[in-house]
Structure 1
Amino acid sequence: MHQPVQVWPPGAPGSPEPGPGGPVTPVVTKPHKRGIGDIPIRVVYLAGAILVTVVAVLLVFVVFSGDVPTRVDSTGTPVSVAPVPAATATPTASPTPSETPVVLPAVPESKAFATLPGKASVVSGIISDRTSGISYPRLAAPWDAKSFAPFTVAQRIGKVAVPHTVIASAMFPGDAPEKKPSKDADYREMATRAARWTLRTQYPAGATLTSWTGSRKVPVGKGWSLGYKVTYVSGGKTETAQAMVTIVEVGKTKPAMLMASIPEKNKARWPDLNTLVQQVKPL
């Protein structure tokens, strides 16, 4: 705003011009102080916009900070899957010096998978394990997708307790082979090693693989699937479980692994093993 100009007659009190009697002392006028009404309207709008943006960002973090990552099923519907923490170590296939090597029956070169009693669960979608490079069916309740170390993705029934009722995927346990397998026999041998690994990790100590219930090449790509029956002692009682493991070539030296184990207490779900074997494939 412009300051008002004060005009004095020559020689008048306060006039900067000297009168007939000589110079006079000038009067100093204090500058006008600005108030809120003097702030340009565009500055007010800018400050308001910044404040609204900051509040919106804070609300987004507060509302969505607890969300669980999702994967999308075949219908496009988000599928909630809690991933295993990144710090989880890669599963190892080699026994420690204190462990007794697990002896297995001879693996059949080819064997149709047995039709197991029970009713297969509904397939509610597809789980795409991009870390391991394979996809396989997501099963409806009572299966539930949860974190389960040392696997990338897992579906479970009930509490985390040995023996486990679980479907899970990860890279092949242990060190990668010196070169990528190329023959069916190579993948069958790796599937055998993976089955031996599950005996040590998914069942009570002393569990034994009593028979093979299936042995076949994967339906898509390179790899091998094995089905087997496990016997173990739990709570002083001898019980059984049905299990499967599939090794799939995924473009790396180390293949991916899908495994599942269903103890006798959930034997109504045994046919789910056949569903997995028939639909697992590389991404």
Structure 2
Amino acid sequence: MGQGAGPGLPPPQQFGQPPSRTMAPLPPPPPPRRLGDIPIKAVYLLGAILATVLAVLLVFVVFSGDVPTRQQADEQVVPVAPVPSSSAAPTPSVSPTPTESPIVLPPVPASKKYATLSGTASLVTGVITDKTVGITYPRLGSPWKAKSFPPFSIAQRIGKVAIPHTVIASAMYPGESPEKKPSSNADYRDIATQAARWSIRTQYPKGATLQWTASQKIPVGKGWTLGYKVTYTFDGKEQEAQAMVTIIEVGKTKPAMLMASIPETNKTRWRDLNTLVQQVRPL
């Protein structure tokens, strides 16, 4: 009886036959990643980067307008606040308050030529163009310097800001606009008189008085110039100043004003008033 395979055993392999191989199946492709599968740390990191970029852009947008514009190299004047309205300035129709004594002015000459004052005229270094007011006038050299001096539009000064002032300044007339645009020399002379009264109250010690030294039409355009000598008491001593005010028609109901005052402490510059009177012009 021949020997064969035992029960339950696989048949013996024949000589030289390779063993059989079974191919393993490929793993299935990974499912697509959804938003919820992204790690929370990566979400926070991306949010922080976006917030930083937005913050930088916001800083540039907000502060881009804070860069000051470059002024012209030859600019020597300082724009300041405009002249206050009639609520802060006397006008022809407003009565003085009980705490203020009325400033009584002598009659204004209908015509009086501006005399040549003593002193040495300062060097004219250019022309000031006050576009806010609408006039031009000489720019004076040293010792005149541009300094802030409200309530004027543009100001040139000598010395510190203190009463009595040494100042050349332009602004709109410091009072209410006339009901109708001035037309005659008498209209402008009357407005110049009120401007001189305003200067006595604001530029000199209390109790100052004036004496008219000039009353004439402006050289170009419509308007009027008044010259006056101001007498006042300062540090217990009576002193005087030379001053001028010019009212100029500038195409509006309210005219422009150029005012200048030079106390006797700077009387060597009194001749500068002649320069201003001769060269002030409307734009």
The TM-score normalised by the length of structure 1 is 0.74
1:235-261 deviation per Cα after TM superposition (whole angstroms, max 9, x unaligned): 000000000000000000000000000
1:169-226 deviation per Cα after TM superposition (whole angstroms, max 9, x unaligned): 10001100000000000000110111111100000000000x2111110111100000
Amino acid aligned to 2:113:
A
For the 8 Å contact 2:135–2:281, the answer to whether it is kept is yes
Question: How many Å apart are 1:26 and its aligned residue?
Answer: 3.6
In structure 2, what is the equivalent of residue 89 of structure 1? 84
Larger Cα Rg: Structure 1 or Structure 2? 2
For the 8 Å contact 1:69–1:82, the answer to whether it is kept is no
SS at the partner of 1:261?
A: strand
In structure 1, what is the equivalent of residue 279 of structure 2? 279
Work out the CA distance in 1 between the residues paired with 2:150 and 2:71: 17
Work out the CA distance in 1 between the residues paired with 2:70 and 2:136: 20
Question: How many Å apart are 1:22 and its aligned residue?
Answer: 5.1
Number of aligned residues: 231
Question: How many Å apart are 1:114 and its aligned residue?
Answer: 1.3
In structure 1, what is the equivalent of residue 154 of structure 2? 153
Question: How many Å apart are 1:85 and its aligned residue?
Answer: 4.0
For the 8 Å contact 1:167–1:259, the answer to whether it is kept is yes
In structure 1, what is the equivalent of residue 268 of structure 2? 268
In structure 2, what is the equivalent of residue 113 of structure 1? 114
For the 8 Å contact 1:68–1:80, the answer to whether it is kept is no
1:13-39 deviation per Cα after TM superposition (whole angstroms, max 9, x unaligned): xxxxxxx7355234979xxxxxxxxxx
For the 8 Å contact 1:69–1:83, the answer to whether it is kept is no
Identity percentage over the alignment?
Answer: 63
Greater relative CO, 1 or 2 (CA 8 Å, sep 6+): 2
In structure 1, what is the equivalent of residue 188 of structure 2? 187
Question: How many Å apart are 1:101 and its aligned residue?
Answer: 1.6
For the 8 Å contact 1:146–1:154, the answer to whether it is kept is yes
Amino acid aligned to 2:89:
T
Flag structure 2 segments of 5+ consecutive residues without an equivalent: 1-20, 31-59
Question: How many Å apart are 1:145 and its aligned residue?
Answer: 1.1
| 1:98-137 superposed matches below 5 A | 98-137=99-138
The TM-score normalised by the length of structure 2 is 0.74
Work out the CA distance in 1 between the residues paired with 2:130 and 2:65: 27
Work out the CA distance in 2 between the residues paired with 1:157 and 1:221: 29
